[in-house]
Amino acid sequence: MDKTLLVTGGAGYIGSHTLLALIAAGYRPVVLDNFSNSVPEVLRRVEQLSGAQVEFVEGDIRDAGLLDRLFQQKAASGNPVQCVVHFAALKAVGESVANPLAYYDNNVGGTTTLLQAMDRAQVRHFVFSSSATVYGEPVALPYTEQHRIAPTNPYGWTKAMVEQVLRDWAATGEQRRAVALRYFNPIGAHASGRLGEAPQGIPNNLFPFITQVAVGKRERLMVFGDDYETADGTGVRDYLHVEDLADGHVRAVEYAGRTEAPFAAFNLGTGKGTSVLQLVRAFEQASGVAIACTVLARRPGDIASAWADPALAYRELGWKAERSIEQMCADGWRWQSQNPDGYSN
C-alpha cells in the first residue's frame, strides 16, 4: 500500500514531532511549509533522528498552482498523496484579535484552497489540527465532543469555521473523510532533546515561558491570577506530551482510511487537569531549577479550568496519552537547556 502523505506546517512544533511518528509508522511524508513560524533546521533534525530523507516543498498553502503541481508530481511518480495532515496555520490568540483578517485568510482561506486542490487531484483524506479552544467557556467539565462550540476569539473561530467547512466538504461524498483533532495543551519536547518548541519573541503560553525562565532568558514567571475557583486558585489545563499528540495523528490517518464516517472530531488530551503552580512545581522537580513567580491579575479571556474527556479518541482511534507531567517537564527541560536559543544554536 502506498503511504505518501502531505504534511502542511510540518516544520512547526507539533508537525515536526508528528513527522517522526509518521515515519516510524512507515509513512512517507512530504512537507509543505512557508517557514513563517519555523526554520529549515527543524527538517534537518527530523532527518537525523529518523534516518530518513524528508521530501520538502517551501511554499504557501494559499498557492493553488503550487498545490496542483505538488499533487500532480506525486501522482505522476507513482506515489499519489493518500492523505493531507494539515498543521499550517497562525496560532497566536492576541494577534488574531488585532489582525483577524490575516487569521481568516491564512487559516480558513488557506484550508479551502487546499481542499479545492485536493478535489482536483482526487485526494480524499484530511486530518486537521483543531483546538479545544473551539469550546469556549465550559458549560460542564470535562469537555466532551458534544460540548457546544463557542469560541471567544478570532483564532478560535478559524478553527470552528474550518471544522464546519470540513463537515460540509466531507458530506459531498466520493469517500471523502475528514478528522478534526481538538488538541488540549501540548507541551514538552522530543525525548532526544533535539526537537522542541521555539517560540519567536515572548512566549504566549505557560510552558515555554517557564522553560525560558529556567534557562535565564526571562527573569520571572507572571502567574495570571490566583483567585480562580480551583484547588490553589491558579488556572487549570490539560497538558499533554507533544509526542503523545504526534502519535494521535498516526491513529487519525489510519482511522481516516477505515471509517465510514465522513467527518469526526476527537479530543486529544489526558483527561487530567494541572494548575499553573502544580506545573511550576513539577518543572522545578524535573529540572532542579527554581522558578521565580509573581502573581498578577487574570489574563483577559482566560477560563478557570479546562480538561478533556478523551474517551472517544480511545474508543475510535485506539489512542490515549501515555506520558506523565514529569516526563513532559523532563523532556521540555532537556530541549530548552540543550538549545537555549531554539534552532538558532
Residue 299 interacting entry, from ligand UD1, ligand NAD, none, C-beta within 5 to 8 Å by type: ligand UD1
Closest to 332 (Cα-Cα) out of 188, 216, 195, 206: 188
Does position 301 interact with ligand UD1 (CB under 6 A)? The reply is yes
CA distance 289 to 344: 23
Per-position x/- string for 48-77, each x denoting binding to ligand UD1 as judged by CB under 6 A, each - no binding: ------------------------------
Please state the closest distance from residue 304 (CB atom) to ligand NAD, in A. Answer: 19
Does position 222 interact with ligand UD1 (CB under 6 A)? The reply is yes
And the C-alpha cell for 321? 496519552
Q: What is the DSSP letter of 133?
A: G
- Cβ neighbours, 10 Å, residue 205: 16
CA dihedral 28, 159, 224, 236 (to 10 degrees): -70
- Kindly state the helix (H) or strand (E) to which residue 24 belongs, with its residue range: helix 13-24
Which residue in the set 4, 5, 6, 9 belongs to the binding site for ligand NAD (CB under 6 A)? 9
And the C-alpha cell for 282? 513539577
CA distance 246 to 150: 26
Please state the closest distance from residue 168 (CB atom) to ligand UD1, in A. Answer: 23
From the list 60-68, 94-102, 134-142, 263-271, the region that binds ligand NAD by CB under 6 A is 60-68
* H helices present in 85-195, as ranges: 93-98, 100-103, 110-121, 154-170
| Burial class (CB within 10 angstroms; exposed 0-12, middle 13-18, buried 19+) of 110 | buried
Residue 82 interacting entry, from ligand NAD, ligand UD1, none, C-beta within 5 to 8 Å by type: none
Say how many Å lie between the first and final Cα of the chain, rounded. 40
Which residue in the set 131, 270, 275, 339 belongs to the binding site for ligand NAD (CB under 6 A)? 131
Residue of 155, 183, 239, 343 with catalytic role: 155
Q: Do 88 and 110 form a contact (C-beta atoms < 8 A)?
A: yes
Which single residue is written with the C-alpha cell 505538488? 70
Please state the closest distance from residue 91 (CB atom) to ligand NAD, in A. Answer: 4
Pairing of strands 55-58, 28-33: parallel
155 carries an active-site annotation: yes
Which residue in the set 62, 167, 281, 299 belongs to the binding site for ligand UD1 (CB under 6 A)? 299
Per-position x/- string for 165-204, each x denoting binding to ligand NAD as judged by CB under 6 A, each - no binding: ------------------x--x------------------
Does position 245 interact with ligand UD1 (CB under 6 A)? The reply is no
Does position 223 interact with ligand UD1 (CB under 6 A)? The reply is yes
Q: Which positions are catalytic?
A: 155
Interacting residues toward ligand NAD by CB under 6 A = 8-9, 11-15, 32-38, 60-62, 87-89, 91, 106, 110, 129, 131, 183, 186
